[in-house]
């Protein structure tokens, strides 16, 4: 992976963690289902990017 790809992957994973934290903390702006969907999308994107780099 390139340095840019590593930084982008790290960003996406941090976003996924943030979404999970918001869901766990009971963020009233989002339902747990929405937060989980966002995490799934983010992780899916990271995996897709990673597979393209190989």
pTM attached to this predicted model: 0.50
| Percent of the chain residues topping a pLDDT of 70 | 78
Domain that holds residue 28: 3-53
Q: From CA 12, how far away is CA 33, in angstroms rounded?
A: 19
Which pLDDT score, from 0 to 100, does residue 18 have?
79
15 or 35: whose pLDDT is higher?
A: 15
Which pLDDT score, from 0 to 100, does residue 41 have?
85
Q: Is the per-residue pLDDT at 33 higher than 60? A: yes
Q: Is the per-residue pLDDT at 30 higher than 70? A: no
Q: Domain count of the chain?
A: 1
């Amino acid at each position: 992976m390139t340095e840019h790809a590593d930084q982008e992957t790290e960003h996406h994973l941090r976003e996924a963690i943030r979404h999970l934290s918001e869901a766990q903390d009971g963020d009233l702006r989002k339902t747990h289902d929405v937060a989980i969907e966002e995490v799934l999308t983010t992780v899916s994107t990271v995996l897709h990017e990673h597979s393209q780099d190989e």
